[in-house]
Chain A
């Protein structure tokens, strides 16, 4: 069974630029999550989708972050404009409903 795929693995951008991350969940998983993991901290949930609907985006900084999951499969997370404090690893995870969440390898973003 293929795992959660994310791309790119690494990204370096200047502040005020925009960036997008892509996630392909495990086939058949209806629930998809985006987490932000700042160095030295545990992951923090940014947004949770159930199929193509948003279940929880209470911790998503909506003035600069956006996410979509068209057709209920792949998802993209965008940051525009990026700030220095957005430097982090962005983890995508998926699950069958409320079951175990499987994580991708993450995208490491560095904002300079």
Chain B
């Protein structure tokens, strides 16, 4: 099965950019996702990228995909205190079905 790895913790100052990284093992992943989880809440889909894309930008969010290195990153511009949460990357392997394999999550702490 697929393995998805993330660093556990990231701390940034308000107004700076945050970059959260993720590596995955299944090269056949067709979709790669970023989810946000606030305390006591479920998972909220932030953005996703198709495997045939290198980059996707959505307002303050930029997703970069390096298929060769199986590396995915999420950049949050002008990070705000409301961005403090746990961020999960997830991959959906090819071959049908809709099974998402999640990483361990990166806790983002935004300091004033």
**A91-B88 contact in complex given A42-B105, A48-B99, A56-B99, C-beta closer than 8 Å:** no
Contacts of A106 on B, CB cut-off 8 Å? Answer: 42
A interface with B by C-beta (< 8 Å): 4, 31, 33, 40-45, 48, 55-56, 91, 93, 95, 97-98, 100-106
Please judge, given known A-B contacts A48-B99, A101-B98, whether A42 and B42 are in contact too, CB under 8 Å.
no
Please report the total number of B residues contacting A with Cβ < 8 Å: 19
Report A7 CB to chain B, min CB distance, Å: 13
What are 7 pairs between A and B in contact, CB < 8 Å?
A42-B88, A43-B100, A43-B102, A93-B42, A101-B100, A102-B45, A103-B42
Within 8 A of A (CB), among B67-112: 88, 90, 97-105
Q: Once bound together, how far apart are the Cα atoms of A48 and B104, in whole Å?
A: 21
Which residues of the other chain, A, contact B45 by a CB distance below 8 angstroms?
100-102
Task: For the complex, give the distance between the alpha carbons of A56 and B1 in Å.
Answer: 14
A105 touches B98 (CB 8 A): no
* B105 with A105: CB separation less than 8 A: no
